[in-house]
Amino acid sequence: MNDSVLTLRSVNVTRYVTPLREGGSMPAIAEADDDFLYVLKFRGAGQGTKALIAEIFGGEIARALGLRVPEIVFASLDEAFGRIEPDEEIQDLLRASEGLNLALHYLSGAITFDPLVTKVDAKLASQIVWLDCLLMNMDRTARNTNMLMWHKELWLIDHGASLYFHHSWQNWEEQALRPFALIKDHVLLPLATELEEVDAEFRAIVTPSLIESIAAAVPDEWLTDEYSFESSEVHRQAYVHFLETRVANSEIFVKAAQDAREGLI
């Protein structure tokens, strides 16, 4: 990825296909004006635009690290969808999500990753564990792996539960320096034996300029509803500072992950 500018494509939703009710925020499969299907994530869902912001940071950092993530696009939703949907719950969600939302390319035919069926090598497991420690991603457990097998390759999906500190922004500078305690439940932790090597490689990739480029892609309108910050730019830079601090001190979360792994074996 070019560190200077991150540009996400924009599409217009043309057809609401079906809800994905297994997701807590009720994403949906939708068709856009480029004739592709997407998993549409709504700004009007429970966690609002914060989940969409986390999706951008998580997905695009993962992509920069060479991990497989479906293409992320901005998806505009017209007000007409809320008027024609017969299901009242979905209708309310669509009406609350008019305007700019986020979507991921739909991996048709993909199956949920099963650690008992598919073997992941130590390097890839260590890479994913490192990423999720950085992002404080609580959603990569055996119960909810948020990984898919598509064309015999492992794909990462749904980073909306990452960066959970931003739901309150309390003591966020301190949280940037904390280990990620929930890594003990990570489905790939037992296989992550190369964390030190991955740490050296990934610290060189997740540079301040990369983080800045991803942060710049977050729409201003998603950064204006947070009372903790005086402007959208100050809000944006808080994300940058959090992630830069976390990368610069990655030995903290790497050591915690190693200790958690030793506790499992």
For 60-112, the pLDDT digits (tens) are 999 999 999 999 999 999 988 767 677 888 888 999 999 999 999 999 999 99
Mean pLDDT of the chain: 93
pLDDT given at position 8? 97
- The answer to whether position 2 is within a domain reads no
Q: What domain range is 53 assigned to? A: 10-105
Which of 115, 137, 111, 175 is closest to 54 using CA atoms?
Answer: 137
pLDDT of residue 163: 96
Average pLDDT estimate for 181-185: 96
**Do 59 and 133 belong together in one domain?**
no
Do 131 and 187 lie in one domain? The reply is yes
Decide if 12 contacts 33 (C-beta within 8 A).
Answer: yes
> Has residue 165 got a pLDDT over 60?
yes
Residue 22 has pLDDT above 90, yes or no: no
Residue 140 and residue 96 in one domain: no
Q: How far apart are CA 184 and CA 207, in angstroms?
A: 27
Residue 128 near residue 156, CB atoms below 8 Å = yes
Query: Is residue 236 domain-shared with residue 181, that is, in the same domain?
Result: yes
247 and 229: one domain? yes
How many separate domains does the chain show? Answer: 2
Domain end point (choices 55, 70, 105): 105
In this prediction, residue 135 carries a pLDDT of 98
pLDDT at 2 over 70: no
pLDDT score of 222 more than 50? yes
pLDDT band at 56 (very low <50, low <70, confident <90, very high): very high
Cβ distance 253 to 179 under 8 Å?
A: yes
- Across 2-35, b (16+ Cβ under 10 Å) vs e yields eeeebebeebebeebeebeeeeebbbbbbbbeee
Look at residue 169 and tell me if it is in a domain.
yes
* Whole-number Å distance between alpha carbons of 114 and 120: 10
- Do residues 15 and 142 share a domain? no
User: Which of 105, 121, 142 corresponds to the end of one domain?
Assistant: 105
Asked if residue 128 and residue 144 are part of one domain, the reply reads: yes
- One domain for residues 160 and 94: no
Specify if 1 maps to a domain: no
Q: Mean per-residue pLDDT for 236-262?
A: 97
Using an 8 Å Cβ cutoff, are 42 and 27 in contact? yes
Backbone angles phi, psi at 260, to 5 degrees: -65, -40
